[in-house]
Amino acid sequence: MRVVDTSVWIEWLIGSALGKNLAAQIPAREQCLVPTIVQLELSKWLTREVGEEAADQMIAYTQRCVVVPLDTRIALLAADLHRQHRLATADAIVYATALEHGADLLTCDAHFTALPGVIYVPKLA
């Protein structure tokens, strides 16, 4: 199982060189965990950058993956991770979701660099 962070989805959606390379690391839908906070971030970004129709299409795509809602267990783990690693709230929720489900996390976000279970692929300068 793998959680794909918003940063990876955005690179994939814009068709960047990095996004094209990352496409091979995005798992099949039944192995792809999508935290609801990632759906929120994608919807916000796509609506702002491309439009509502693109946002709706991407959310429909993620709904065919394994959507993981924010529940109390994940929220409390995220609070601990926020304190331990100084992660932003959304990042802590994404990481907590991966840990709670025994999944790895694929990300381009440097905040996750040294954390266990993270596959960090830096953005090209």
Q: What count of Cα atoms within 13 Å lies in the side-chain half-sphere of residue 125?
A: 0
Query: In the chain, at which residue ranges do the beta strands (DSSP E only) sit?
Result: 2-4, 32-35, 66-68, 104-107, 118-120
Starting at the edge strand that comes first in sequence, how are the strands of the sheet with 2-4 ordered? 66-68, 32-35, 2-4, 104-107, 118-120
Going by the DSSP 8-state scheme, the letter that residue 81 receives in this structure is: H
Please give the structure tokens belonging to residue 31. Answer: 């192995």
- pLDDT tens track for 88-105: 999 999 999 999 999 999
Please give the structure tokens belonging to residue 5. Answer: 């962070």
At 124, the pLDDT band (50, 70, 90 cuts) reads confident
- pLDDT tens track for 20-63: 999 999 999 999 999 999 999 999 999 999 999 999 999 999 99
Tell me if the pTM is above 0.85: yes
